[in-house]
Every structure is written in structure tokens, then in C-alpha cells.
Amino acid sequence: MKKILGIDFSPKAEIALLKILGKDAYIQYEKFQETIRIGDNDMVLLWMDEDQALVEQKIGKLRCACNFQNIPIIVMHDQPRDIPSQPYVIAGATEVLSLSDPAPACRNIINGYLIPGREPLPEEKAYLDPFIRNTCHILKTMAGMDAVFKKVYFSNAIRIFGDVSGIMGLSGNSEGTLAVTFYWDLAKTIIARMMNTEEDQIDAELIHDGVSEIINMISGTTKKDFVGKPHHFEITLPSVVVGPGHQIGYFQNTAAAVLIFEVDGQAFALHVCIKPKSAAA
């Protein structure tokens, strides 16, 4: 049984949702709180308030509470028209649905997101393993920290929801993008450990250099593992971006893998989207 967390639903909206999803759906309703926990829920449905900025803040908090896990956050409203979903998606929502959309559409979309994610194919595992190994090795070597790979999920594009991310464009035999993304606290901890200094010594420039160096090292070392293989790539200059909601590239017929790691009880994600040029669709 899939567990859904319904947040800020009015009794009227609860009834409308029940009509769409049927009686079998297991939804636990709560009011939004700053310290909200997602727990073992498989999905979050958030009822949209009038105030857009407030909704965006709530989405940001919920996305952060998901700690990089692939938990869909679906924003629902009862406004008669399809309102622009872009601001909510940038804030971290997965989808925006209206109760005035046809019920089969809402039901199918919600159920679609509840279908379990797939495991990597053998060929995907083969090219993801070096990234996993090298990411852990880099943190161990440079910061003396033990990162553990937790999980992978797949998406159609790289969409970043952390506070600070390092992005590397790939070219050559394979094309694509790598992006590592952290929340501030973990980025600061790692960089302070790399420099063997206190976290309060870490300024914006060091965050920039640190995140940029981490994505540089992940790409540089993994590139070596791919010499002579179809996934071999060349790297460019890393870009560091702040804030959530960036979507990078959109490679048709290619899946972006999101590798989730944990270090010191905090998670970070490495997005890997790589497509050998020789491979056809």
C-alpha cells in the first residue's frame, strides 16, 4: 500500500481528492509545519494556498525534507484554469494538478508517480559504478569523510534542488552533463574538512572553489576509467550555481541518473547524464 501525505487540504478538498483516487488510497492529512517530516511516505500532495510565495516556500521546505529522495511533491488546487506550473516546479514541486482537470488524468498522473522506480540496467550499472566509486574515494581522500552510496533513480532531465551545485559539461565521444548538488551545511562541512579549518572560515569564494573542485575531480578521475570505452568524455570548465530549480539540458532518448549519497548523516546528489555519440536511440 502506497502512503501519501496530504498537506493543508481542507475537508472539501479532501473529499474531492478521495473522489479522484478512490477509497483505497491511503492518505494521511496534516497541516504544514516548518519542521515537517516526510517519513516513509511515498508521495506528498500539497494543497495550494492563495499566496504563491508562501506555497513556493512550503515546497522548498518539503523538498529539503525529502533529503534528495525521489519523493514526488504534487501541488493541487481548485482554480478553474491551468495556472502556470513553472514557479512551483522551480521551487521543487514535481507536478501541479487542478481538481478541475479530468479525474482520470489526475488519477493516472498520481498513480504514475506512485509506480516504483526502476533499478539500473546492467549497462547503466557499468557506467555508473565508476562515478559512485570515485565520488566516495574523493571525499575520503580530500576530506577524510566516509560517503556511502544509498540509491539511484532516473529522470528525463537534470533538475537540481540543492543550495549549491557544480555542473560539468561533457563532450567528446560521449556528451552530457554531470552535476553535484549539496545543501549549504554539508557543502560547508566538506569544504572545511578539505581545508582542515573551521566551518565559519568558509566564505562564498571557498564554496565556489570547493564545489567546483569536487565536480572537477569526479569528472577527471572517472574520465580516466572510461579510456577506450564508449562512455569516454572530455571535460570543460565547471560552473557553480546557487539556488534550486535549475534544469540542465534535455537529452532526448537519454535518462539522467540521480545518485544519492550520504555522508555524516546528510545527503547529497550526483546527477549523471551521459550519452555515447556512437549509440543510437
Query: Measured from the CB atom, is 37 or 224 closer to other proteins?
Result: 224
DSSP string over 27-55 = EEEE---TT---TT-SEEEEE--S-HHHH
Distance CA 79, CA 7 (A): 17
Query: Measured from the CB atom, is 32 or 220 closer to other proteins?
Result: 220
Residues 6+ apart with CB under 8 A from 245: 89, 90, 91, 92, 159, 160, 161
Smallest distance, other proteins to C-beta of residue 121, A? 5
Is the CB of residue 189 less than 8 Å from the CB of residue 169? no
Smallest distance, other proteins to C-beta of residue 9, A? 19
Query: Measured from the CB atom, is 8 or 95 closer to other proteins?
Result: 95
The side-by-side arrangement of strands in the sheet containing 3-7 is: 26-30, 3-7, 43-47, 73-77, 95-98
Query: Measured from the CB atom, is 35 or 253 closer to other proteins?
Result: 253
Q: CB-based burial of residue 150 (10 Å sphere; 0-12 exposed, 13-18 middle, 19+ buried)?
A: middle
Cell of 222: 572517472
Distance CA 250, CA 265 (A): 32
Smallest distance, other proteins to C-beta of residue 195, A? 5
Smallest distance, other proteins to C-beta of residue 100, A? 10
Residues 6+ apart with CB under 8 A from 67: 266, 267
Smallest distance, other proteins to C-beta of residue 246, A? 5
Query: Measured from the CB atom, is 53 or 126 closer to other proteins?
Result: 53
Smallest distance, other proteins to C-beta of residue 150, A? 16
Query: Measured from the CB atom, is 30 or 49 closer to other proteins?
Result: 49
